[in-house]
């Protein structure tokens, strides 16, 4: 039984010694493997938001840059959960022990994205109350932005 657990853990968790590429605020690429940070949704690259003064800015780029900062020169490991409809690995990822999924939502550069579960709703509430990241102004939730952009 002990060996089965070891094999399961080996299969569903992977450590990253290779170069990690940040695709956007909720996606990574590691050795050609596409990884989507489970339970969060970040603005799309090129998605515009408004700061507290009403000035427009590229919040998708800001989100991407924040994730890059979180992983810069850090050891990254991910716990694989399942594949999504685009064959990406849905995972919880860590940089030197910091939960990247949670950190992105707490920073205000991503929102909670879990249907039917709590996900990171408490972290989203904290970011909103503290007016961090996108919450310092106005923005369209990334899911709605994608829907409108594709119609």
- CATH no. of 11-145: 2.40.50.90
Q: What is the mean pLDDT of the chain?
A: 88
Q: What's the pTM value of the predicted model, to 2 decimals?
A: 0.86
Question: What distance in Å separates the CA atoms of residue 78 and residue 91, rounded to the nearest whole number?
Answer: 6
Per-residue pLDDT reduced to its tens digit, 44-96: 989 999 999 999 999 999 999 999 999 999 999 999 999 998 899 999 999 99
Contacts with 123 (C-beta within 8 Å, 6 or more apart), sequence order: 102, 105, 106, 112
* Alpha carbon 36 to chain centroid, angstroms: 7
Domain ranges of the chain: 11-145
**Is residue 4 scored above 60 in pLDDT?**
no
The Cβ of residue 101 has, within 10 Å, a number of other Cβ atoms equal to 24
């Amino acid at each position: 039984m002990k060996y089965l657990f070891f094999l399961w853990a080996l299969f569903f968790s992977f450590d990253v010694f290779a170069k990690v590429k940040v695709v956007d605020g909720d996606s990574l690429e590691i050795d050609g493997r596409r990884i989507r940070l489970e339970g969060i949704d970040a603005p799309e690259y090129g998605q515009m938001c408004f700061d507290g003064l009403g000035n427009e800015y590229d919040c998708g780029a800001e989100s991407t840059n924040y994730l890059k900062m979180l992983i810069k020169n850090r050891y990254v490991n991910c716990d694989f959960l399942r594949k999504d409809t685009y064959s990406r690995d849905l995972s919880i990822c860590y940089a030197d022990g910091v939960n990247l999924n949670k950190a992105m939502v707490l920073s205000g550069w991503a929102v909670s994205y879990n249907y039917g579960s709590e996900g990171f709703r408490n972290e989203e509430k904290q970011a909103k109350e503290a007016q961090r990241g996108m919450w310092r102004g106005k923005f369209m939730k990334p899911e709605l932005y994608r829907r409108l952009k594709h119609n």
